[in-house]
Structure 1
Amino acid sequence: MAGSERVELKPIAPAEVSKHNTPESCWVILYGNVYDVTELLPTHPGGSQAILRLAGRDATEDYDPIHPPGTLDSLKPEALLGPIIIEPTQITKETLPITLEEDAPPSLDSLLNLDEIEELATKKIKPKSWAYYYGASDDQLTKALNTQAYRSILLRPRVFVDCSRCDMSTQILGNRLKVPVFVSPAAAARLAHPSGERGIAAACAKLGALYIISQNASLTPEDIVRDAPDDQVFGWQLYVEKDNAKNEANIARISNLKSIKFIVLTLDAPFPGKREIDERFKYQEAPVVNGFRQEQYWGTSSTLTWRKTLRWLARRTHLPIVLKGIQTHEDAFIASTFAPRVRGILLSNHGGRALDTAPPAVHTLLEIRKHCPEVFGKLDVLVDGGVKRGTDVVKALALGAKGVGIGRAALWGLGAGGQEGVERTLQILTEETGTAMRLLGVEKVHNLGMAHVNTKALESQIYDGPFERSKVLDHIEAKL
C-alpha cells in the first residue's frame, strides 16, 4: 500500500470482520489481510453493491481476476487493518482433491476446431465466468447470426492453379503482421486463466497476430506489453467514460506506450444490453432502487457525437484512431469523411452483447460494397464477431476486410489451456485460413476478392433503402 509504514498490525479474527458488514462500515479480506474499504463505496466503478456483497468475508477469489496488480495501492495506509487469523481446518481423505486419470482433460493438440476448445474451456472455468463470456443480449439472435451469416456464403475455388505457396502476411494501419487474424478487445481475461491478457499477448506474439487490449483488462496495459517483442503490434480499446479526467489520463498513459500503435474508440455499447445469462448470476447481488433491481452499473458516456468527440480525441493523442462498432454503411461513409485522422473502422456489434437483432459484420461489409465502396480505399476495414473457421476469415477478407478478429474464441482458448490454449486457437484458425486460400487458388491475402465468394443467399437480407449522402452528412451531430 502506497506510503504504508505501519509497524504493528494486529491479527483480526473472522468474527470481527463479519461485524463490519454494514452500509456504514465495510471490511473485506484480501490476500490474507483485512481492509476497511468503506471509503470506496460511493466511488467504486462497479457500484457500491459490488463491494457490499463481499463485505465481511474473503473477497480474494472475486477481486483478483478482475483487478490489475497494484490496485490496492490507491487505498489510504490506514485501510490495511491487519492479517486475518487463520482458523484450523480438519483435513480428511474425503476432502483431498483427487483427479482420476479418466477425468483428465484432452491434450490441446487433440482439439481440432474452435468448438472443441470452447467445450473444454466450459468444463474448466467457473460457471459465473462462463456466463460472463458466453452471454449475449435478449434472445441472442445477433450472436447466433454472426456465425450463421458466414455459413450462408459459398466459396468459389479455381483449379489448375499452383497452390504450393501461401502467404498470409498483411498490413493493418501500416503495421506488418504475419496473419490477418487478430484478437479483439475482450474484458477480464483472468476469469479464464491466471495469465490473463499476458497469456493472450504472448500467444499473439508467437503467431504474429495483432492484439487489441481491452480497456477493462484484468492487468494493466504496461504489464500486458512489458515482455512483448519490439515488433509486436498492439491496439488499445477506449471507452469514453463519464469521468473526463479519467479519460484524459488513460489516453495520455496509452499514448506513451510505444507498443500500442492505435486507439480503438468503442461506439457500439453506449448503454448496456440485457444479457440474461450473465444477469441470472448477478440477480441476487443487485441492489433494489425504486422497486427495481439495478443489475448493471454503466460508467460509459452516452453523449458522444461525431464532430465533438473526434475533435476532442484528436487533440489528446498522436495515435491513429479506429472506430469500433460501425453497423451500417451510412456510419462507415461518415467515418471515411474524417480520414486521415480516422484511419480505420471495426465492423462489430459487440459480440451480440448490445442490441439484439443488429446485423452481423458480414452484412455491413456487403452494405458498404453496395452503397459506398469508396470507403475501402479510404479506411482499413476490420471485422469481428462469430468467426469459427478459417473459411470465415477468407470470406471476410474477400469482401474487403483487412483483418478478422476473434474475441470469445481467444478467451475460450485461455480457459482451455492458458497461453498454449490461445496459441492452439490461433494456430487452428490460421492453418484453416491457409488451407482455404490454397484450395481457392490464392497465394496472397490481397489477391482475395469478390470473384472468390458467392453471397447470393445473403443479398435479400442486405439493406436496400435510399442512400442520400448529403442528408447523411447533415446528421453527423446525431448521438451515437
Structure 2
Amino acid sequence: MLDGAEVAKHKTRESCWIVVDNRVYDVTTFLHRHPGGGAVLLRQGGADATAEFSKVHPLDYVKELGEGSDLGPLDPKTTASLNTPKPIPSQEVVNTDELPHVSLCVTTGDFEAPAKRVLPHRFWTYVSGSANSGLSFKVNVDDWDRIRFRPRVLRNVGAVDMSRSVLGHKSPYPFYFTAIGTLGNIHPGAEPEAVRACVRKGVHQVISTASTKTPEETMDSYRREQSLVGDASPTRLFFQLYLPTDREKAIALIKRAKAAGYKGIWLTVDTPVLGKRTADRRLQAIEAASMGLEQDEAPIRPPGSENSFAPAFGGRPVPGQLSPHTVWEDLKWIKGAFDGPLVLKGIQCAEDAKLAMEYGCDGILLSNHGGRQLHSAPSALMTLLEIRTYCPEVMDRMEVYVDGGLKDGADVLKAICLGATAVGVGRSYIYALAAYGSRGMERCTDILAEELATAMKLLGITSLDQARPEMVNANALLNEMWRPGANQLRILSHL
C-alpha cells in the first residue's frame, strides 16, 4: 500500500498522482491529453480526487486510464497526509440555506438566479453556455415570443386534459426532461435526484450517454422510486445515444441500454464534431494559465481512456467518442441492435425530416442542441414550420418533438398547435435541480403545468387533441422561413 505522505509529493507537471476510490493513479502523461485541461488534474495532485471525479464520471471509469496508471491502494491510515485539492478560480458556492424558498419561484425563469448563485463557476459555465457568439441560443428563446395565439371564447373550459403519449407511453403532460449530461456537476444526487422528481410527477426523462451514473445505476434508481409509489407513475426512461466511432463499442452500449430497460433510443445526429463552446474554452484557458500550463488547441487522447462514452469535457471533444462518419445507412444496424423505437435528435431541416421518415424512424427531435453546436442554426420552431409547409406527411407518420429555449408552459401549447407531439425541457429543469434538487424540479413541473392548463382554457380548448395550427399566428416566423426554388421543390417531392 502507498503512503499518503508519498502520494502528496506528486503534485507537479513532472509527476502527478491522484487518489480515486482509495486507489492511487499516476496521471502525469495524461495531463496534456485531458479534454477538460491539465489544470483540472493538477488541482487534485497528491490529493483525494474521488469527490470531484464522481461529479463527472462513474468511478469505474478509472479502469480505462491506461496500463501502468494504477499504482495500487492507498494506506487508509495515512489519508490525513494527502494534499487538499486546490480551489478553482472564481468558484463561489452559496449555501442553499441562503437561497429564496422554492415557493417563491413562480416562473421557470425564477430558478436561474438561484442556480447561478449555488453552482461553482465552472459548472455554471457548462450549463448556461452556448456555441460561438450565442446566436443559435438566442434565436431559440426569441422565436417562442414571435408566435401569437388566436383564442376562441364562450367555450366550456371547466376542466382540461393535458395528457400526451411519447412512443406509446402516456404522461400527464406534453413535456419531458430532455437529455443533459453529467448531472453530478449540477447536484450531488446526480441523475437519481432528477429521476426522483420525474417519477413523482409522471414526467418522462431522456438519460444522456454522458451521465455521471451508468445506465444501469440510473435505471436502478428509477425502479427504486417506482417501488416507493407502488409502480403507479407513468414515467418512462429513454436513452440518448452519442455514437462513437467504434461500432462494437456502440453496439455494446446500445445493448446495455436495452437490457437495462430503456424504452427507446434517441440518437443524437447533430454532433459529427463538437461545436465551439466559447465560454468553456475561455474558462479552460484561464484555469490552465493559473496553473502555469498552456491550453492545447486540440487535446490528443486515445479512445476509451477515462470516460468510456462521454463525448466531451469542458468544451473539448473526446477523440473517438463522436463519429463524423455516421450516415443514414447506419440506422439499420442501430435499430437492429436495440430492437425498439428510434428517435433522431437534432433534425434541423425538412429534407432530413423526410429522410428520417423514409428510413423508418419512430420520431424526430427538432433541436439545435440548445444553441451549443452550429453557429446560426435554426430554432426548433422554425424547422417545425418548414416541415409543416413542405413535408406535412412527416407529421402523420412520425412523432415530432421540439426543444430549446422554452420558459413558459403556454409556449408548449404553441408547439402542440403546430403539430409537435411533445416538448423537451432542459435548462429550466437543470436550474431548478441545481438550486433545489428534486423539490425544485417538482416545483418547475407544477409551474409549467399550471401555465399550460391556463393557456388551454384561455385559448378555448379542453384537450390537446383540439389544438390546431389556425389557433396560432406564426406569420412572423413564416415570413423568414427558408423557401426552396423550383428545382429544390422537385427534390423534396422525390425524397
Please give the TM-score of this superposition, normalised by the length of structure 2.
Answer: 0.84
Superposed CA deviations along residues 220-259 of structure 1, whole A, max 9, x for unmatched, are 122222243244311100111123332121111111122x
* RMSD of equivalent CA atoms: 3.0
Paired residues of 1:41 and 1:51 also in contact (CA < 8 A): no
Match of 2:155 in 1: 161
Tell me, yes or no, if structure 1 residue 128 matches structure 2 residue 122: yes
Task: Report 1:19-418 matches (<5 A).
Answer: 19=10, 21-22=12-13, 26-30=16-20, 33=22, 35-38=24-27, 41=30, 46=35, 49=38, 52-53=41-42, 54-72=44-62, 79-83=72-76, 84-86=78-80, 104-228=98-222, 229=226, 230=231, 231-258=234-261, 260-284=262-286, 292=297, 294=299, 296-298=316-318, 299-307=321-329, 309-339=330-360, 342-418=361-437
Q: Give 1:135 deviation, angstroms.
A: 0.4
Q: Supply the AA of the counterpart residue of 1:116.
A: D
Q: Give 1:58 deviation, angstroms.
A: 3.7
Superposed CA deviations along residues 406-455 of structure 1, whole A, max 9, x for unmatched, are 11111111111011111111111111111101111111112111121011
Paired residues of 1:153 and 1:457 also in contact (CA < 8 A): yes
What percent of counterpart residues are identical?
A: 33
Tell me, yes or no, if structure 1 residue 432 matches structure 2 residue 454: no
Paired residues of 2:18 and 2:27 also in contact (CA < 8 A): no
For residues 417 and 9 of structure 2, what CA distance do their matches in structure 1 show? 60
Paired residues of 1:18 and 1:57 also in contact (CA < 8 A): no
Instruction: Give the stretch that moved more between structures: 394-403 or 461-470.
Output: 461-470
Q: Supply the AA of the counterpart residue of 2:104.
A: S
For residues 48 and 153 of structure 1, what CA distance do their matches in structure 2 show? 42
Q: Give the secondary structure class of the aligned counterpart of 1:222.
A: helix
Q: Give the secondary structure class of the aligned counterpart of 2:458.
A: helix
Q: Give the secondary structure class of the aligned counterpart of 1:246.
A: helix
Closer, same or farther in 2 for the Cα pair 1:383/1:61, shift >3 Å? same
Q: Which residues of structure 1 form unaligned runs of 5+?
A: 1-8, 90-97
Paired residues of 2:410 and 2:452 also in contact (CA < 8 A): yes
Instruction: Give the stretch that moved more between structures: 325-334 or 222-231.
Output: 222-231
For residues 137 and 220 of structure 1, what CA distance do their matches in structure 2 show? 27
Paired residues of 1:334 and 1:473 also in contact (CA < 8 A): no
Match of 2:307 in 1: none
Q: Which residues of structure 2 form unaligned runs of 5+?
A: 84-92, 300-314
Paired residues of 1:336 and 1:378 also in contact (CA < 8 A): yes
For residues 59 and 126 of structure 2, what CA distance do their matches in structure 1 show? 22
For residues 127 and 36 of structure 2, what CA distance do their matches in structure 1 show? 21
For residues 22 and 72 of structure 1, what CA distance do their matches in structure 2 show? 20
For residues 283 and 317 of structure 1, what CA distance do their matches in structure 2 show? 40
Superposed CA deviations along residues 330-357 of structure 1, whole A, max 9, x for unmatched, are 1111111112xx1000000000000121
Paired residues of 1:334 and 1:472 also in contact (CA < 8 A): no
Q: Give 1:60 deviation, angstroms.
A: 3.3
Count matched residues. 451
Please give the TM-score of this superposition, normalised by the length of structure 1.
Answer: 0.86
Q: Give the secondary structure class of the aligned counterpart of 1:315.
A: helix
Paired residues of 1:12 and 1:34 also in contact (CA < 8 A): no
For residues 272 and 166 of structure 1, what CA distance do their matches in structure 2 show? 42
Q: Give the secondary structure class of the aligned counterpart of 2:260.
A: coil
Paired residues of 1:179 and 1:207 also in contact (CA < 8 A): no
Q: Supply the AA of the counterpart residue of 1:161.
A: R
Instruction: Give the stretch that moved more between structures: 320-329 or 231-240.
Output: 231-240
Q: Give the secondary structure class of the aligned counterpart of 1:325.
A: strand
Q: Supply the AA of the counterpart residue of 1:273.
A: G
Q: Supply the AA of the counterpart residue of 1:11.
A: D
Q: Supply the AA of the counterpart residue of 2:8.
A: V
Superposed CA deviations along residues 279-316 of structure 1, whole A, max 9, x for unmatched, are 22211456758x84646233211111111x11221221
For residues 443 and 357 of structure 1, what CA distance do their matches in structure 2 show? 37
For residues 175 and 292 of structure 1, what CA distance do their matches in structure 2 show? 44
Q: Give 1:178 deviation, angstroms.
A: 1.2
Q: Give 1:59 deviation, angstroms.
A: 2.5
Paired residues of 1:394 and 1:437 also in contact (CA < 8 A): yes
Closer, same or farther in 2 for the Cα pair 1:319/1:79, shift >3 Å? farther
For residues 38 and 55 of structure 1, what CA distance do their matches in structure 2 show? 9
Paired residues of 2:4 and 2:82 also in contact (CA < 8 A): no
For residues 105 and 284 of structure 2, what CA distance do their matches in structure 1 show? 32
For residues 44 and 232 of structure 1, what CA distance do their matches in structure 2 show? 40
For residues 281 and 52 of structure 2, what CA distance do their matches in structure 1 show? 16
